[in-house]
């Protein structure tokens, strides 16, 4: 394989092989990341290969801000804890695309895992065999702090023309998977390092290059995280979940969200939805998964208990739907050594939305719900209308366009808000599905011509109803919207297997070291921005080899020529590439860009 060095970071040209075990990720030094960020913006009009035209810097006259526990975020969108929230550049890319609630990739005490490769299959729906972070705990902490500082520096630079109020961003940490690990000194240090990031910030502040010295005096935010999402994963006992959240509430005073599993629907409903309604007859969840996971009754019981604890401590408690669904691995793409894999994407969206409806039928809107399952530009606005916060995405950002796909989410949301005559998320919730009147009457209010006129004109209804009634009205609308949307899913062909059966086209040509098609699909689909275009003009280059002679000397010998005919070449930063295999999925040639 061809090796090279750029900006002091070792790179690897495209070897076209599949590694059975994970490659090491090497974070980019803070000073070089900062330098690249601004140099690329000035020279190419992009940051980490995301073009400026795909930056989301405001929504015109729309206010998409939401409250998540004790803080306000400018939008409800964020990357799910996963490949898009692991390294500093990933988080900055998500933020540039409009994400304002960043669910940091889950960490755990076991931070030297061997994950088989490839580990991601996003050919149509989505499967993976990943677990938690691929960095050491101390590296993860530094990456998250670096990302927060880079975002603040970008804001202070005034190079992005951010709309007023579009700078409110929330970092939500995520940990797993058992109480013993979370209580370990290493995970405690990680949690405390995000709640008070001063030591890391001061260390990184000193590394800001002299040419950017004006940013050394920024008053960087040090309390990066006030909230935490617990990844319970598969098979975590319900009493363990309760003990973990109780510990986090009491020990750290963190607002907590519990990520729950789709197996809560039970085997009959999961199979009915997947097989009978959606047609995914080839997807099978082992029965043991249902036996090992918490049941609905157990979850309802510990949520009630933990809600009382959180209220007593004046903290927030929420739930998240949903984790991935454990399914059998047929071994046709992901390593056959893994008997099970984890389903995401379109079918998971339907399963998770049924859980949202079930949960709200039990708890109403008294407990906030965050969501991650098959979110894309077609359903993001629907998730917003259901009052879900945050709405996080992973699988869709692995598809062609990568982080740039987020801009289409906001385009679709703004169009829906226009149709609903809504300028805020609250107003959109009231009018999204035409349930404003019914919701108001269920909340104990009286529908009037004045209220109807106000909603149609986009006027703030706060001038017509008091805060208490408005809160009840929005809550009633959320419940009505949830019922409306979930009922529509079974007949929505976008979620059917027949609509999600195709795979990316291949042209039957083997990928070579140079002169690929240069379709550039592999660049944005990499969550880590590992693939990049290398500006090499078409040329004829002699191939010269050095040979050692019998006397111990060296001599050069030409062995033909290398014809470079494409507009540029594509290369790969070894340090950023974890060989997940996602770029290979979308490359028209066979062999794998990584």
- Confidence (pLDDT) at 209: 98
Sign of the alpha-carbon dihedral angle for 272, 277, 279, 283: negative
Q: Answer yes or no: is pLDDT of 15 > 60.
A: no
**Which residue is listed with tokens 């550039």?**
520
Mean pLDDT to the nearest integer, 38-50: 98
Mean pLDDT to the nearest integer, 97-110: 96
CATH of residue 231's domain is 3.20.20.70
Same domain, 468 and 565: no
Question: How would residue 22 be classed by pLDDT, with cut points 50, 70 and 90?
Answer: low
pLDDT digits (tens, 9 = 90+) for 48-90: 999 999 999 999 999 999 999 989 999 999 999 999 999 999 9
- Confidence (pLDDT) at 272: 98
Same domain, 173 and 306: yes
Q: Can you read off the two tokens belonging to residue 186?
A: 């290493």
Same domain, 553 and 467: no
Residue 192 counted as domain residue: yes
- Confidence (pLDDT) at 554: 92
Same domain, 97 and 148: yes
pLDDT digits (tens, 9 = 90+) for 547-563: 988 888 898 999 889 99
Mean pLDDT to the nearest integer, 497-503: 97
Question: How would residue 115 be classed by pLDDT, with cut points 50, 70 and 90?
Answer: confident
Mean pLDDT to the nearest integer, 253-264: 98
- Confidence (pLDDT) at 6: 32
Mean pLDDT to the nearest integer, 163-170: 98
Question: How would residue 239 be classed by pLDDT, with cut points 50, 70 and 90?
Answer: very high
Q: Answer yes or no: is pLDDT of 193 > 80.
A: yes
| Range(s) of the domain holding residue 554 | 538-570
Mean pLDDT over the full length of the chain: 94
- Confidence (pLDDT) at 241: 97
Same domain, 419 and 304: yes
Query: For the chain, how many structural domains are there in total?
Result: 2
Same domain, 109 and 166: yes
Q: Answer yes or no: is pLDDT of 18 > 50.
A: no
- Confidence (pLDDT) at 113: 65
- Confidence (pLDDT) at 591: 86
- Confidence (pLDDT) at 552: 84
**Residue 277 DSSP symbol:** I
Residue 584 counted as domain residue: no
- Confidence (pLDDT) at 1: 26
Same domain, 188 and 312: yes
Residues 6 or more apart in contact with residue 15 via CB below 8 angstroms: 1, 2, 513, 594
Same domain, 230 and 279: yes
Same domain, 457 and 560: no
Mean pLDDT to the nearest integer, 7-25: 43
Same domain, 323 and 442: yes
Residue 418 counted as domain residue: yes
Question: How would residue 23 be classed by pLDDT, with cut points 50, 70 and 90?
Answer: low
Measure Cα distances from 589 to 356, 448, 489, 504, 509 in Å: 41, 62, 36, 10, 5
Of 470, 499, 528, the one marking the end of a domain is: 499
SS3 of 260-274: the string is ECHHHHCHHHHHHHH
Same domain, 376 and 445: yes
Cβ count within 10 A of residue 115: 20
Of 447, 471, 499, the one marking the end of a domain is: 499
- Confidence (pLDDT) at 592: 80
Q: Can you read off the two tokens belonging to residue 593?
A: 């860009």
- Confidence (pLDDT) at 16: 34
Give all strands of the β-sheet with 170-175 in edge-to-edge order: 77-79, 391-393, 369-371, 317-321, 255-260, 227-231, 170-175, 101-103
Residue 508 counted as domain residue: no
Residue 61 counted as domain residue: yes
Same domain, 460 and 560: no
Residue 586 counted as domain residue: no
Mean pLDDT to the nearest integer, 513-542: 94
- Confidence (pLDDT) at 131: 66
Question: How would residue 175 be classed by pLDDT, with cut points 50, 70 and 90?
Answer: very high
- Residue 111 C-beta-side C-alpha neighbours within 13 Å: 21
- Residue 21 C-beta-side C-alpha neighbours within 13 Å: 4
Give the relative orientation of helices 137-157 and 88-96 as an angle to the nearest 10 degrees. Answer: 40
**Which residue is listed with tokens 């988080």?**
91
- Structural element, H or E, at residue 318: strand 317-321
Among 279-283, 412-416, 518-522, 544-548, the range scoring the smallest mean pLDDT is: 544-548
Residue 585 counted as domain residue: no
Residue 404 counted as domain residue: yes
pLDDT digits (tens, 9 = 90+) for 522-535: 999 999 999 999 99
514 vs 527: CA distance, rounded Å: 23
Q: Answer yes or no: is pLDDT of 19 > 60.
A: no
Of 469, 499, 529, the one marking the end of a domain is: 499
Residues 6 or more apart in contact with residue 552 via CB below 8 angstroms: none
**Residue 545 DSSP symbol:** E
Mean pLDDT to the nearest integer, 577-592: 93
pLDDT digits (tens, 9 = 90+) for 298-322: 999 999 999 999 999 999 999 999 9
């Amino acid at each position: 394989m061809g090796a090279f060095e750029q900006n002091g970071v070792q790179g690897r040209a495209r070897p076209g092989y599949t590694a059975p075990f994970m490659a090491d990720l090497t974070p980019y030094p803070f000073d070089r990341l900062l330098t690249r960020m601004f140099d690329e913006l000035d020279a190419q009009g992009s940051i980490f290969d995301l073009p400026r035209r795909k930056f989301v810097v405001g929504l015109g006259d729309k206010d998409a801000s939401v409250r998540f526990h004790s803080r306000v975020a400018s939008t409800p969108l964020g990357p799910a804890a996963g490949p898009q929230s692991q390294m500093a550049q990933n988080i900055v890319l998500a933020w540039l695309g409009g994400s304002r609630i960043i669910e940091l990739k889950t960490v755990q005490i076991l931070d030297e895992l061997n994950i088989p490769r490839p580990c991601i299959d996003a050919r149509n729906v989505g499967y993976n065999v990943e677990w938690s972070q691929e960095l050491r705990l101390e590296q993860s902490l530094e990456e998250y702090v670096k990302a927060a500082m880079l975002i603040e520096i970008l804001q202070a630079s005034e190079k992005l023309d951010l709309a007023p109020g579009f700078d409110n961003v929330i970092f939500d940490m995520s940990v797993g998977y058992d109480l013993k690990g979370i209580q370990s000194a290493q995970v405690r240090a990680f949690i405390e390092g995000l709640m008070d990031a001063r030591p890391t910030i001061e260390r990184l502040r000193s590394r800001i290059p002299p040419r950017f010295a004006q940013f050394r005096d920024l008053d960087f935010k040090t309390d990066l995280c006030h909230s935490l999402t617990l990844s319970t994963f598969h098979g975590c006992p319900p009493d363990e979940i309760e003990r973990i959240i109780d510990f986090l509430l009491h020990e750290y005073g963190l607002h907590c969200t519990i990520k729950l599993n789709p197996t809560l629907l039970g085997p009959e409903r999961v199979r009915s939805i997947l097989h009978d309604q959606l047609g995914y007859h080839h997807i099978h969840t082992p029965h043991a998964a249902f036996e090992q996971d918490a049941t609905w009754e157990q979850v309802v019981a510990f949520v009630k208990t933990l809600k009382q604890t959180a209220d007593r401590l004046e903290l927030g408690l929420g739930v998240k739907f949903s984790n991935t669904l454990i399914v059998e691995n047929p071994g046709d793409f992901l390593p056959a050594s893994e008997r099970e894999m984890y389903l995401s994407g379109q079918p998971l969206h339907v399963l998770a939305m049924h859980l949202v409806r079930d949960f709200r039928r039990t708890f109403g809107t008294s407990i906030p719900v965050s969501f991650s399952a098959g979110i894309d530009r077609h359903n993001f606005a629907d998730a917003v209308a259901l009052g879900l916060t945050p709405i996080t995405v992973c699988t869709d950002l692995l598809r062609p366009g990568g982080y740039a796909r987020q801009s289409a989410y906001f385009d679709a949301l703004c169009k829906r808000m226009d149709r609903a005559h809504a300028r805020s998320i609250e107003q959109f919730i009231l009018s999204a599905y035409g349930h404003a009147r019914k919701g108001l009457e269920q909340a104990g209010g009286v529908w009037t011509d004045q209220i109807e006129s106000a909603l149609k004109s986009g006027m703030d209804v706060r001038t017509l109803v008091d805060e208490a009634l408005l809160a009840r009205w929005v809550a009633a609308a959320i419940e009505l919207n949830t019922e409306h949307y979930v009922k529509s899913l079974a007949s929505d062909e976008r979620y059917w297997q027949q609509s999600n059966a195709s795979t990316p086209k291949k042209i039957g040509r083997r990928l070579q070291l140079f002169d690929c098609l240069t379709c550039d699909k592999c660049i944005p689909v990499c969550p880590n921005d590992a693939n990049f275009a290398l500006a090499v003009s078409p040329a004829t280059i002699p191939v010269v080899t050095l040979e050692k002679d019998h006397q111990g000397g060296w001599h050069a010998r030409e062995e033909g020529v290398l014809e470079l005919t494409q507009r540029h070449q594509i290369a790969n930063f070894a340090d950023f590439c974890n060989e997940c295999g996602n770029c290979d999925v979308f490359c028209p040639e066979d062999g794998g860009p990584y």
